[in-house]
Amino acid sequence: MDIKEQIDHNLIPQHVALIMDGNGRWAKQRGKDRIYGHENGVKAVRETLEAAGELKIPYITMYAFSTENWNRPKKEVDTLMELLVNTIRNETKELCDKGIRLHAIGNLKSLPEKCLLELKEAVKLTENNNKLNLIIALSYSARWEIVNAVKNILNDFINGNKPIENVDDKIFKKYLSTSDFPDPDLLIRTSGELRLSNFLLWQIAYSELYFTPVLWPDFNREHFFEAVAEYQKRERRFGKTGDF
Ligand code: IPE
Ligand code: IPE
Ligand code: MG
């Protein structure tokens, strides 16, 4: 049976987060430069959005560049930023045609100016789209985000003379860059690595984790459906017993 036909449309995850990993290894297997892998990763992004659209998933978050990725060789970082600018520019119309609204999270101030301008423009141009929210994590690290939230909470509470005891997880969530979005139901990581690499540490407290050996440039629509089908087999207990 076609993998898509196995999917229960009453049990669709509302938010799927993806760690898009394995571009470098994919290129190396072909005797090419790592950049070739990044370039070929763009197609997998399109496939994922296509599949998410078909399932009417309202939120997709994609980890595109971590804070730690700044420590890669300058040539790779510069080319990645260039690729990002070009992709955003080339894909904005397609995003609008598909009703996709773009959001960006991360330490965006650290991005090259050209990249930031292009990003802001695409966010603005897509702001009225309402079929799917695409949240791109750029220069993102969960520890950075959490520390940032703590600083802002302290500032607001101390300056506003509000009691710190009132801070709870609902208030904390408001200070995260994902405050407008539900927590991910499903987290997918490609390339066979079994780690989180500083991604959404707060938000994935109860997400279902799915790891696949597929390298990101090979990840396609069917792989996405397979992950969703596997997610639907899981029993999410949220600390309760499985009896009700
Ligand atoms: C993921 O692929 C893309 C980014 C982190 C920007 P990698 O570049 O990490 O590829 P591998 O993990 O080295 O194969
Ligand atoms: C995680 O991949 C970051 C992104 C996919 C953007 P990495 O390749 O940077 O992670 P590590 O270094 O293997 O943990
Ligand atoms: Mg990697």
217 lines ligand 1 (CB under 6 A): no
Is residue 97 within 8 A of residue 69, CB to CB? The reply is no
Residue recorded with tokens 């994590």: 137
The pLDDT value recorded for residue 242 is: 84
Residue 157 · residue 163 · CB < 8 Å? yes
List the structure tokens of 27: 């290129």
Bridge partners (DSSP) of residue 133 are 59, 101
Whether 22 lines ligand 1, by a CB cut-off of 6 Å, is: yes
**What pTM does this model have?**
0.97
Per-run averaged pLDDT (10 residues), the chain, 244 residues: 94 98 98 98 98 98 98 98 96 98 98 97 98 98 98 97 96 98 98 98 98 99 98 97 81
CA atoms within 13 A on the CB side of 14: 3
pLDDT of residue 244: 66
The CATH homologous superfamily of the domain defined by 3-141+182-231: Decaprenyl diphosphate synthase-like (3.40.1180.10)
Whether 33 is catalytic:
no
Residue 243 is predicted with a pLDDT of 82
CA of 61 to the centre of ligand 1 (A): 17
Residue 185 among the catalytic residues: no
Q: How far, in Å, CA of 107 to CA of 119, rounded?
A: 13
**Looking at 33, 69, 148, 198, which residue is catalytic?**
69
Is 132:53 a contact under the CB 8 Å cutoff?
Answer: yes
Provide the CA 14 distance to its chain's centre, in angstroms.
13
Task: Find the 205 Cα to ligand 2 centroid distance in Å.
Answer: 19
Output the six-digit token pair for 92. Answer: 């904005």
R_g (Cα) of the chain, nearest Å: 19
